[in-house]
Amino acid sequence: MARDLDCIFCKIVAGEISTPLLGSNELAIAFRDIAPRKPVHILVVPREHHANVVELAESSPEELHAVVSLANQMAKQFSGGSFRLTFNTGAEAGQTVFHAHAHITSETAKA
């Protein structure tokens, strides 16, 4: 499995940093953002290291599919039905952790 030893998300995937998982599948995991910007703010991360979503899509479309599929499951479970799915690519776009990841955000949490 591709991994960057300095990457915080790789460390979470490996279990070296503990965080409660909200969901997972064979190729991705989901957990709450440490600094949420909306009432619902969940990250979905591929298990293998890819610097951004473009690299993920080009090298492993099945992993991208797994990330989006898990994001859909998490949105259904935790949002009120409307949500945003965002991938930041590059520092100027707001990417701060250079391991591909999707942000699920919503103003409304599921009751």
- The set of catalytic residues is 101
3-state DSSP call for residue 78? helix
First vs last C-alpha separation in the chain? 38
Calpha distance 74→78 (Å, rounded): 6
Calpha distance 99→96 (Å, rounded): 9
